[in-house]
Structure 1
Amino acid sequence: MHPRLLLALTPLLFTPLAHAVDCDNATDQTTMNQCAAQQNKAADKELNALYQQITTRLKDSPDAKKLLVGAQRSWIAFRDAECKFSASGVEGGSVYPLIYSNCTTALTKARVEAFKTYLKCKEGDLSCPVPEA
Protein backbone atom coordinates (compact mmCIF):
# COMPACT_ATOMS: atom_id res chain seq x y z
CA MET A 1 0.00 0.00 0.00
CA HIS A 2 1.26 3.45 -0.87
CA PRO A 3 2.23 5.56 2.21
CA ARG A 4 0.04 8.50 1.10
CA LEU A 5 -2.99 6.24 0.74
CA LEU A 6 -2.36 4.83 4.20
CA LEU A 7 -2.18 8.36 5.63
CA ALA A 8 -5.36 9.31 3.81
CA LEU A 9 -7.23 6.29 5.21
CA THR A 10 -5.93 6.63 8.78
CA PRO A 11 -8.72 9.02 9.90
CA LEU A 12 -11.30 6.45 8.80
CA LEU A 13 -9.82 3.95 11.24
CA PHE A 14 -10.66 6.23 14.15
CA THR A 15 -14.10 7.40 13.00
CA PRO A 16 -16.07 5.02 15.28
CA LEU A 17 -14.30 6.51 18.30
CA ALA A 18 -15.61 9.94 17.37
CA HIS A 19 -19.18 8.60 17.47
CA ALA A 20 -19.01 6.97 20.90
CA VAL A 21 -22.32 7.13 22.72
CA ASP A 22 -22.30 9.08 25.99
CA CYS A 23 -24.93 7.16 27.92
CA ASP A 24 -24.47 9.17 31.12
CA ASN A 25 -25.58 12.32 29.33
CA ALA A 26 -28.07 10.92 26.81
CA THR A 27 -30.72 13.52 26.02
CA ASP A 28 -32.28 12.36 22.77
CA GLN A 29 -34.42 9.29 22.16
CA THR A 30 -32.05 7.68 19.68
CA THR A 31 -29.15 7.83 22.10
CA MET A 32 -31.28 6.57 24.99
CA ASN A 33 -32.43 3.66 22.82
CA GLN A 34 -28.80 2.87 21.91
CA CYS A 35 -27.75 2.98 25.54
CA ALA A 36 -30.61 0.71 26.60
CA ALA A 37 -29.61 -1.75 23.89
CA GLN A 38 -25.98 -1.68 25.10
CA GLN A 39 -27.06 -2.38 28.68
CA ASN A 40 -29.24 -5.23 27.46
CA LYS A 41 -26.37 -6.69 25.45
CA ALA A 42 -24.07 -6.54 28.50
CA ALA A 43 -26.64 -8.28 30.71
CA ASP A 44 -27.19 -10.94 28.06
CA LYS A 45 -23.45 -11.52 27.73
CA GLU A 46 -23.18 -12.05 31.50
CA LEU A 47 -26.16 -14.41 31.44
CA ASN A 48 -24.65 -16.47 28.64
CA ALA A 49 -21.32 -16.77 30.46
CA LEU A 50 -23.06 -18.02 33.62
CA TYR A 51 -25.21 -20.39 31.56
CA GLN A 52 -22.05 -21.89 30.07
CA GLN A 53 -20.57 -22.35 33.55
CA ILE A 54 -23.71 -24.15 34.70
CA THR A 55 -23.85 -26.41 31.65
CA THR A 56 -20.20 -27.29 32.22
CA ARG A 57 -20.97 -28.33 35.78
CA LEU A 58 -23.89 -30.41 34.53
CA LYS A 59 -21.78 -32.34 31.99
CA ASP A 60 -22.14 -35.53 34.05
CA SER A 61 -25.88 -35.02 34.53
CA PRO A 62 -27.52 -35.13 31.08
CA ASP A 63 -31.04 -35.18 32.52
CA ALA A 64 -30.40 -32.06 34.60
CA LYS A 65 -28.75 -30.37 31.63
CA LYS A 66 -31.80 -31.15 29.48
CA LEU A 67 -34.03 -29.63 32.16
CA LEU A 68 -31.87 -26.50 32.25
CA VAL A 69 -32.03 -26.13 28.47
CA GLY A 70 -35.82 -26.47 28.56
CA ALA A 71 -36.13 -24.03 31.43
CA GLN A 72 -33.90 -21.49 29.69
CA ARG A 73 -35.87 -21.73 26.44
CA SER A 74 -39.10 -21.25 28.37
CA TRP A 75 -37.61 -18.36 30.31
CA ILE A 76 -36.52 -16.62 27.08
CA ALA A 77 -40.01 -17.06 25.62
CA PHE A 78 -41.51 -15.65 28.84
CA ARG A 79 -39.07 -12.72 28.93
CA ASP A 80 -39.78 -11.75 25.34
CA ALA A 81 -43.57 -12.10 25.71
CA GLU A 82 -43.60 -10.22 29.02
CA CYS A 83 -41.56 -7.36 27.61
CA LYS A 84 -43.68 -7.13 24.46
CA PHE A 85 -46.71 -6.81 26.72
CA SER A 86 -44.94 -4.37 29.04
CA ALA A 87 -43.99 -2.12 26.13
CA SER A 88 -47.25 -2.54 24.20
CA GLY A 89 -48.57 0.81 25.39
CA VAL A 90 -45.92 2.58 23.30
CA GLU A 91 -45.77 0.12 20.39
CA GLY A 92 -44.82 1.90 17.19
CA GLY A 93 -43.41 4.89 19.06
CA SER A 94 -39.84 6.05 19.23
CA VAL A 95 -39.64 5.14 22.94
CA TYR A 96 -40.62 1.49 22.32
CA PRO A 97 -37.00 0.22 21.99
CA LEU A 98 -36.10 1.90 25.29
CA ILE A 99 -39.07 0.45 27.19
CA TYR A 100 -38.61 -3.01 25.68
CA SER A 101 -34.84 -3.06 26.30
CA ASN A 102 -35.22 -1.84 29.87
CA CYS A 103 -37.68 -4.66 30.51
CA THR A 104 -35.50 -7.37 28.98
CA THR A 105 -32.46 -6.02 30.83
CA ALA A 106 -34.27 -6.09 34.18
CA LEU A 107 -35.51 -9.64 33.66
CA THR A 108 -32.11 -10.77 32.40
CA LYS A 109 -30.39 -9.30 35.45
CA ALA A 110 -32.83 -11.19 37.68
CA ARG A 111 -31.99 -14.41 35.80
CA VAL A 112 -28.29 -13.62 36.21
CA GLU A 113 -28.79 -13.47 39.97
CA ALA A 114 -30.60 -16.83 39.92
CA PHE A 115 -27.71 -18.36 37.96
CA LYS A 116 -25.19 -16.89 40.40
CA THR A 117 -27.11 -18.54 43.23
CA TYR A 118 -26.97 -21.89 41.40
CA LEU A 119 -23.22 -21.51 41.03
CA LYS A 120 -22.78 -20.98 44.79
CA CYS A 121 -24.37 -24.29 45.75
CA LYS A 122 -22.61 -26.22 48.47
CA GLU A 123 -22.30 -29.98 48.51
CA GLY A 124 -25.25 -31.51 50.31
CA ASP A 125 -27.67 -28.68 49.45
CA LEU A 126 -30.61 -30.74 48.24
CA SER A 127 -32.46 -27.65 47.00
CA CYS A 128 -29.79 -26.87 44.44
CA PRO A 129 -29.63 -28.60 41.03
CA VAL A 130 -26.07 -27.50 40.17
CA PRO A 131 -23.15 -29.42 41.69
CA GLU A 132 -20.38 -27.55 43.44
CA ALA A 133 -17.28 -26.93 41.33
Structure 2
Amino acid sequence: MQKNRLYGILAIGLATSAPLYPASAAEKWTADHNQCNNQTNTIDITSCINARTAIWDQRLNQAYKALTVMLAGEPSTKSRLAPLQTAQRAWLKYRDANCAYYNAQEGTIRSVEVSDCMQRMTQDRAIELQGEGPQ
Protein backbone atom coordinates (compact mmCIF):
# COMPACT_ATOMS: atom_id res chain seq x y z
CA MET A 1 0.00 0.00 0.00
CA GLN A 2 2.86 2.40 0.80
CA LYS A 3 4.32 1.81 -2.68
CA ASN A 4 1.00 2.75 -4.33
CA ARG A 5 0.72 5.85 -2.18
CA LEU A 6 4.28 6.84 -3.19
CA TYR A 7 3.44 6.33 -6.88
CA GLY A 8 0.36 8.50 -6.44
CA ILE A 9 2.37 11.27 -4.84
CA LEU A 10 4.99 11.05 -7.57
CA ALA A 11 2.36 11.07 -10.30
CA ILE A 12 0.68 14.09 -8.80
CA GLY A 13 4.02 15.85 -8.57
CA LEU A 14 4.66 15.18 -12.24
CA ALA A 15 1.24 16.46 -13.22
CA THR A 16 0.57 19.95 -14.46
CA SER A 17 0.35 23.51 -13.17
CA ALA A 18 -0.45 25.82 -16.08
CA PRO A 19 -3.92 27.32 -16.45
CA LEU A 20 -6.53 25.29 -18.34
CA TYR A 21 -6.55 27.16 -21.64
CA PRO A 22 -4.74 26.75 -24.95
CA ALA A 23 -1.71 28.96 -25.45
CA SER A 24 -1.24 31.37 -28.28
CA ALA A 25 1.37 30.58 -30.94
CA ALA A 26 3.51 33.53 -29.81
CA GLU A 27 3.61 32.35 -26.19
CA LYS A 28 6.69 30.35 -25.17
CA TRP A 29 5.36 27.17 -23.62
CA THR A 30 6.90 25.67 -20.51
CA ALA A 31 6.23 22.38 -18.81
CA ASP A 32 3.37 22.15 -16.33
CA HIS A 33 3.99 20.96 -12.79
CA ASN A 34 1.71 20.19 -9.84
CA GLN A 35 -1.59 21.34 -11.38
CA CYS A 36 -3.42 18.32 -10.01
CA ASN A 37 -1.96 18.35 -6.48
CA ASN A 38 -5.27 19.31 -4.88
CA GLN A 39 -7.01 16.13 -6.07
CA THR A 40 -7.59 13.53 -3.37
CA ASN A 41 -8.45 10.26 -5.10
CA THR A 42 -7.38 8.24 -8.13
CA ILE A 43 -10.43 9.12 -10.23
CA ASP A 44 -10.06 12.86 -9.62
CA ILE A 45 -6.30 12.79 -10.19
CA THR A 46 -6.75 10.89 -13.46
CA SER A 47 -9.50 13.25 -14.61
CA CYS A 48 -7.35 16.27 -13.83
CA ILE A 49 -4.33 14.87 -15.65
CA ASN A 50 -6.51 13.90 -18.63
CA ALA A 51 -7.81 17.48 -18.80
CA ARG A 52 -4.21 18.73 -18.84
CA THR A 53 -3.41 16.21 -21.59
CA ALA A 54 -6.27 17.59 -23.69
CA ILE A 55 -4.81 21.09 -23.36
CA TRP A 56 -1.35 19.86 -24.35
CA ASP A 57 -2.84 17.87 -27.23
CA GLN A 58 -4.41 21.09 -28.55
CA ARG A 59 -1.04 22.81 -28.21
CA LEU A 60 0.69 19.90 -29.95
CA ASN A 61 -1.72 20.12 -32.87
CA GLN A 62 -1.27 23.89 -33.00
CA ALA A 63 2.53 23.62 -33.00
CA TYR A 64 2.53 20.82 -35.59
CA LYS A 65 0.25 22.76 -37.92
CA ALA A 66 2.31 25.95 -37.60
CA LEU A 67 5.51 24.02 -38.26
CA THR A 68 4.13 22.20 -41.31
CA VAL A 69 2.80 25.47 -42.76
CA MET A 70 6.19 27.09 -42.20
CA LEU A 71 8.12 24.20 -43.76
CA ALA A 72 5.78 23.89 -46.75
CA GLY A 73 5.89 27.62 -47.43
CA GLU A 74 9.64 28.00 -47.80
CA PRO A 75 11.58 26.28 -50.62
CA SER A 76 14.66 25.94 -48.42
CA THR A 77 12.74 23.95 -45.76
CA LYS A 78 10.25 22.00 -47.91
CA SER A 79 12.50 18.93 -47.82
CA ARG A 80 11.99 18.74 -44.04
CA LEU A 81 8.21 18.39 -44.27
CA ALA A 82 8.03 14.68 -45.18
CA PRO A 83 10.51 13.61 -42.47
CA LEU A 84 8.52 15.64 -39.92
CA GLN A 85 5.30 13.90 -40.92
CA THR A 86 6.99 10.49 -40.71
CA ALA A 87 8.50 11.34 -37.34
CA GLN A 88 5.18 12.58 -35.96
CA ARG A 89 3.35 9.41 -37.00
CA ALA A 90 6.10 7.28 -35.42
CA TRP A 91 6.11 9.43 -32.29
CA LEU A 92 2.35 9.00 -31.84
CA LYS A 93 2.69 5.21 -32.06
CA TYR A 94 5.63 5.27 -29.65
CA ARG A 95 3.81 7.49 -27.13
CA ASP A 96 0.74 5.26 -27.15
CA ALA A 97 2.79 2.05 -26.83
CA ASN A 98 5.06 3.52 -24.17
CA CYS A 99 2.19 4.71 -22.02
CA ALA A 100 0.31 1.42 -22.48
CA TYR A 101 3.26 -0.24 -20.75
CA TYR A 102 2.25 1.44 -17.49
CA ASN A 103 -1.18 -0.15 -17.71
CA ALA A 104 0.25 -3.67 -17.97
CA GLN A 105 0.31 -4.22 -14.21
CA GLU A 106 -2.38 -4.44 -11.56
CA GLY A 107 -3.56 -1.71 -9.26
CA THR A 108 -5.60 1.46 -9.48
CA ILE A 109 -2.48 3.60 -9.58
CA ARG A 110 -1.95 2.36 -13.14
CA SER A 111 -4.64 4.71 -14.44
CA VAL A 112 -2.74 7.64 -12.92
CA GLU A 113 0.56 6.43 -14.36
CA VAL A 114 -0.91 6.00 -17.86
CA SER A 115 -2.53 9.44 -17.74
CA ASP A 116 0.64 11.01 -16.41
CA CYS A 117 2.70 9.38 -19.15
CA MET A 118 0.36 10.66 -21.87
CA GLN A 119 0.38 14.17 -20.41
CA ARG A 120 4.15 14.38 -20.00
CA MET A 121 4.97 12.97 -23.42
CA THR A 122 2.36 15.11 -25.20
CA GLN A 123 3.55 18.19 -23.34
CA ASP A 124 7.20 17.53 -24.17
CA ARG A 125 6.46 16.96 -27.86
CA ALA A 126 4.33 20.12 -28.07
CA ILE A 127 7.13 22.19 -26.55
CA GLU A 128 9.66 20.55 -28.88
CA LEU A 129 7.62 21.28 -32.02
CA GLN A 130 6.82 24.80 -30.89
CA GLY A 131 10.54 25.46 -30.57
CA GLU A 132 11.05 24.33 -34.18
CA GLY A 133 8.18 26.39 -35.57
CA PRO A 134 7.75 30.04 -36.42
CA GLN A 135 8.95 32.32 -33.67
The alignment's C-alpha RMSD in Å is 2.2
Task: Specify which structure has the higher proportion of helix.
Answer: 1
Contact kept? 1:37, 1:98, Cα under 8 Å:
no
- Residue 124 of structure 2 aligns with which residue? 110
* Percent identity over paired residues: 25
Rg larger in 1 or in 2? 1
Bigger shift: residues 70-79 or 27-36: 27-36
The answer to whether the aligner puts 1:85 opposite 2:101 as a matched pair is: yes
Q: Report Cα offsets for 1:29-68 as digits up to 9, x if no partner.
A: 2211111110111111111110111011012355422221
TM-score of the two chains, using structure 1 as the length reference: 0.63
Q: Report Cα offsets for 1:77-123 as digits up to 9, x if no partner.
A: 00111111133223xx433332111001111122122112212xxxx
The answer to whether the aligner puts 1:49 opposite 2:95 as a matched pair is: no
- Residue 37 of structure 1 aligns with which residue? 50
Number of residues of Structure 1 aligned to a counterpart in Structure 2: 98
The answer to whether the aligner puts 1:100 opposite 2:114 as a matched pair is: yes
The answer to whether the aligner puts 1:26 opposite 2:42 as a matched pair is: no
TM-score of the two chains, using structure 2 as the length reference: 0.62
Structure 2: gaps (5+ residues): 1-35
Q: 1:74 offset after TM fit, Å?
A: 0.1
Structure 1: gaps (5+ residues): 1-22, 120-131
